[in-house]
Amino acid sequence: MNFRIISALVMRYLFLYSRSPMRLVELAFWPVVDLVVWGNVTVFIQKNTNPEFGSYVLFFLGGMILWDIMFRAQQGVAISFLEDVWTRNLLNIFVAPVRSSEYISATFIVGMLRILITAVVLSFISWFGYAFNVFQLSWWLIPFFLNLMLFGWSLGMISTALILRWGLAAESLAWAIPFFFQPVVAVFYRVEDMPAWSRPIAWCFPPTYIFEGMRDVMKSGTMNWDYLGYAAGLNILYLALAGWLFVWVLNLTRKRGLLTKFATQ
Amino acid sequence: MPPSPPDTREVILEAIDLTREFDGVKALDRFSFKLHRGEVLGLLGANGAGKTTAMNCLLGLTLPSSGELNAFGLPLQANRIKILQRANFSSAYTALPGNLLVWQNLLVFARIYGVPNPKKKIAELMELLEISHLSKRVTGQLSAGESTRVNLVKAFLNDPELLMLDEPTASLDPDIADKVRKVVRKVQRERNIAILYTSHNMRDIEEVCDRVIFLHKGKIVCEGTPADIIAQSSSDNLEDVFIKIARDGELLDEPKKDSAV
């Protein structure tokens, strides 16, 4: 991998964001809307139920913030790719000496920057608006963020592969794919509260361990190390599978001659 | 007649029996050619003749069903990145990101190609193409002619030894098209670049290309210098040749059945 090429591709996205204030606004708009809705619901429940239950609803805010980290990581990869499709620049990239690994790495970095912006905005608003301090998760935040980011990248690569294969008809998947997982990865509720048949499915995905871990940390200040181990292990597996899928689909589109039709549509 | 001396010119790009099928239909059928250093080769044919497929295979965007492709003496698929570092491409049908400023787009590609002193290089090329004044303009707001010239700056950034130009003068007015042709020819001669050139504008071809290949249904039907082809076909100009081939699929008394080299 050539870091000069990765930095050139990242620079292109930075130019794009610097020239488009709406893209920057979009980074914060939906997370803030979600946070305000969930924050108000939390306040409402806290005021109208017994204090013990009230403290539990803070899990909603924690879940919502961490979910958004994963979603932004996925978007960083998928939307960066779509930016090239929308601007008809894909062909220029594919005929330049850019390896798929360099292209994907650049989208990962853009994903990280998007996460950083979103996380700062959400932490700030949740603290000042709802007295929810995301830093109560202390150092656990780092492995939480890392694991969710890795799974977001995997989903981003899968979304990109599907768009590569089916063209812009599959564009909506860039937004929809993370939400396929939301019901089963226990973002807002515990795995034990889910229907029995769905629990084994939940444990197949790294975010489940992270969201369960987050609730443990918020409740007792400690976390099950096994959760982190399982999440990291599964993330390596999903990243490898998603990377393989992306390269396989890219080669398939080359074999079938779909790439140019897709790149200039 | 004495045998012609062996061709000792350096081969930059070579296709050997290149075949590409789509659902059983051959878009390219045993297509073979050589492009030498410093030569401009025109790839011509009506819509659907196979030239876009050929260009896509040569760029590594589409894999051939069979056959061999080499550039700089190296197999293309196995050495794609190494080869693309020494080559470049410009097409009327692709664009640089429209919301970036012209200099931003060019700087990104200069970094991708590892151009030393990129700002100076960009300024020189923009001056050569007479578009220095566009540097701070938004790329998406350029006219077709301006956009084509910006794309050409991008294509010349890495001092390519091999350049593929896909209809570079499409949608340009005659004045700008003439300027583009002259600049391409000037840079090509100065730097001894091998160029593969596709166009539907026969004026382009006559003015720019040293040699042309006519494709019909994926096969080479004739090959030679524009003047030779016009003479052999008893036509007045290359446009008449193009029309004959597009309508009849053949030109000469004995059209070539196999691809020529």
| pLDDT score, position B253 | 44
Query: What are the tokens at B159?
Result: 């001092």
* Chain A CA closest to residue B65: A255
Element of type H or E holding A215: helix A206-220
pLDDT for the residue B261? 40
**Pairwise CB contact (< 8 Å): B60 & A19:** no
Q: What is the CATH number of the domain that holds B50?
A: 3.40.50.300
Which residues of B are less than 8 Å from A101 in CB distance? Answer: none
Is residue B212 in some structural domain?
yes
- Which of B187, B197, B193 lies closest to B166 in space, CA to CA? B197
Alpha carbon distance A129, A190 (integer Å) = 26
* Residue B75 within a domain: yes
Subunit contact A87:B99, Cβ cutoff 8 A: yes
Is the CB of B77 inside 8 Å of chain A's CB atoms?
A: no
Of A8, A11, A95, the CB nearest to B59: A95
Q: Please list, in sequence order, all residues whose beta carbon lies within 8 angstroms of the beta carbon of residue B8, skipping any fewer than 6 positions away.
A: none
Q: From the candidates B21, B62, B82, which should be mutated to test the interface with A, based on the most A CB atoms within 10 A? A: B62
List of residues 6+ apart from A13 with CB closer than 8 A:
A80, A83, A106, A110
Each residue of B222-243: b (16+ CB within 10 Å) or e?
bbeebeebbeebebeebbebbe
Residue B103 falls within a domain, yes or no? no
The answer to the question of residue B80 being in a domain is yes
Cβ neighbours of A10 in B, within 8 Å: none
Listed residue (B5, B26, B28, B60) closest to B259, CA to CA: B28
Q: Is residue B189 part of a domain?
A: no
List the structure tokens of A235: 């993330």
User: Tens of pLDDT along B91-131?
Assistant: 887 778 888 999 999 999 999 999 999 999 999 999 988 89
Q: How confident is the model at residue B259 (pLDDT cuts 50, 70, 90)?
A: very low
By Cβ distance, the residue of A9, A12, A95 closest to B89 is A95
A11 interface with B at CB cutoff 8 Å: yes
From B22, B93, B109, residue closest to A96, measured CB to CB: B109
**Amino acid type, A248:** W
Residues of B in contact with A87 (CB under 8 A): 95-99
Ranges of residues in chain A with a pLDDT under 50 are none
Domain ranges of chain A: 3-263
Task: Name the nearest CA neighbour of A203 among A186, A189, A225.
Answer: A186
pLDDT tens digits along A184-197: 998 888 899 899 99
Interface test with A, best of B88, B91, B93, B94 (most A CBs within 10 A): B94
What lies within 8 Å, CB to CB, of B20 at 6+ separation is A257, B26, B27, B28, B50, B53, B57, B62, B64, B65, B218
Residue B251's pLDDT is 55
Q: What is d(CA B170, CA B177) in angstroms, rounded to the nearest whole number?
A: 8
Instruction: Tell me how close the Cα of B4 comes to any Cα of chain A, in angstroms.
Output: 37
Look at residue A260 in the predicted model and tell me its pLDDT.
Answer: 73
pLDDT at B179: 85
Residue A24 contacts B where some CB pair is shorter than 8 Å: no
Structural domain for B252, as ranges: 7-86+194-261
What are the angstrom distances between the C-alpha of B12 and each of A135, A263, B191, B226? 60, 27, 14, 21
Name the residue facing B96 among A7, A11, A92 (closest C-beta). Answer: A92
Nearest CB among B91, B94, B100 relative to A16 is that of: B100
All residues of chain A having their beta carbon less than 8 Å from the beta carbon of residue B112 are: 4-5, 8-9, 96-98
Quick check: B94 and A88 CB within 8 A?
yes
Q: Which residues contact A101 (CB under 8 A, 6 or more apart)?
A: A1
Tens-place pLDDT, residues B146-188 = 888 899 999 999 999 999 998 888 878 888 888 888 888 988 9
- pLDDT tens digit sequence for B186-211: 889 988 999 999 888 888 888 889 99
Where residue B255 falls among pLDDT bands split at 50, 70, 90? very low
Instruction: Please give the pLDDT value at position B254.
Output: 47
The reply to whether B29 falls in a domain is yes
Any B CB within 8 A of A88 CB:
yes
Looking at the structure of chain B, the number of domains it has is 1
Q: For position A86, what pLDDT does the model report?
A: 80
Find all residues with CB under 8 Å of B3, minimum gap 6, and list them.
none
- Confidence (pLDDT) at B237: 79
**CA of A150 to nearest chain B CA: how many angstroms apart?**
26
| CA–CA dist A132, B76 (Å, integer) | 57
Residue B1: its pLDDT value, please? 57
B35-73 exposure pattern, b = at least 16 Cβ within 10 A, e = fewer: bbebbbbbbbbbeebbbbbbbbbbbbbbbbbebebbbbe
Q: B20 and A257 in contact by Cβ < 8 A?
A: yes
Look at residue B126 and give its three-state secondary structure.
helix
Q: Do A15 and B108 touch (CB under 8 A)?
A: yes
Is A9's CB within 8 Å of B95's CB?
no
Q: What is the mean pLDDT of residues B38-45?
A: 90
Pairing, β B40-44 against β B219-224: unpaired
Contact state of B112 with A87 under an 8 Å Cβ cutoff: no
Residues of chain B neighbouring A12 (CB-CB closer than 8 A): 97, 100, 104-105, 108
Question: In chain B, positions 27-56, which contact chain A (CB-CB < 8 Å)?
Answer: 52-53, 56
The answer to whether A12 contacts B108, with C-beta atoms less than 8 Å apart, is yes
Pairing mode, strands B40-44 and B74-75: unpaired
| Contact criterion met (CB < 8 Å) for B112 and A8 | yes
